[in-house]
A and B are shown apart, each in its own frame.
Chain A
Amino acid sequence: MIALCSSSVATLCLLAVMGPLRMWYAVPIIVSVSLVYAATRHEAMGSILVHAARFALWIVVFMAIVFAGLQAMSWLQ
């Protein structure tokens, strides 16, 4: 358990150091996709922004889950 936690922290630290180089490229595309997707489902601007925020959060959580899955598989190697 300690090994799992420490390696998770180490991975997050590694991402924090090297992540900005690559992970920041995801931000513009997440914003763009969530706004356009939300705008094709609502007409009022308020509803669009609320839906876009929720959808962006969903994308980030999904990416985090995929990352965690890949990380777990790399530990099992």
Chain B
Amino acid sequence: MAKQLPTTESHVVVVAEPGEPEIDLKDPRLAAFLAWLVPGLGHVYQGRTGKGVLFFVCIVGTFLYGVYLGDGRVVYASTPSILTRWQYFFQLGVGLPATPALVQRERALDVPPKPPLISDNFMRPPATRGDFRSRDAAGQEVVHPDELAKWNHDLADMFEMGTVYTIVAGLLNLLVICDAFGGPLVIFPPVDKKKRPDQGDTKAEKPS
């Protein structure tokens, strides 16, 4: 993590690398929560607006592109067990943009089930009972055992592509949350090749 500097009571100040600006992390926990809620919002709260906008565009853009590729069906919280669609836990990393799936799940579990919000293909879990049919490329009718099988058939590889995009967006936001909490992660600090005069040559100092 970045080097921590003397801080005030409520603010944490760090510096990533020599020559780079000092960063006022303010309240790191609040910043991390905001970063999860909306990608980049934690950085905007800390005054790191440029990075906040970059994170927002990259992560929300990736997430929405994935949703578009998957025709709005790749982000959903499964029923009856939410664990069945494990990919959703990674997609939830983007925060608010993925949370409508939880509302859709609750509406689907209601007795009797409530109609989905906004539209039929907006983060709604697939139905497990019903008559699901579609036509293949040759025009033949295909009968599917459940709606998820129908989505996989109709969307073909775009279902997987959209899932990958949305998962990657969620995982990227975990990096952003860490950055908002502790500042930039410097794995290899730059080595100062020019030795300072007070360091001298260590070999020469050894007794012969």
Contacts and interface: CB of A to CB of B under 8 A. Distances in A.
A, B: real partners = yes
Interface of A: 22, 25, 28-29, 31-33, 35-37, 39-45, 47-48
Contacts of A42: 16-17, 20, 184
Contacts of B169: 32
Nearest to B168: A29
B77 interface: no
Q: How large is the interface on B (under 10, 10 to 19, 20 to 34, 35 or more residues)?
A: 20 to 34
B172 A32 contact: yes
A41 B187 contact: yes
B21 interface: yes
Contacts, number: 66
A39 B179 contact: yes
Given A28-B62, A28-B65, A32-B59, A39 B54 contact: yes
Contacts of B55: 36, 39
B176 interface: yes
Interface string B153-187: 00001000100110011001001101100011111
A39 B17 CA distance: 13
B175 A37 contact: yes
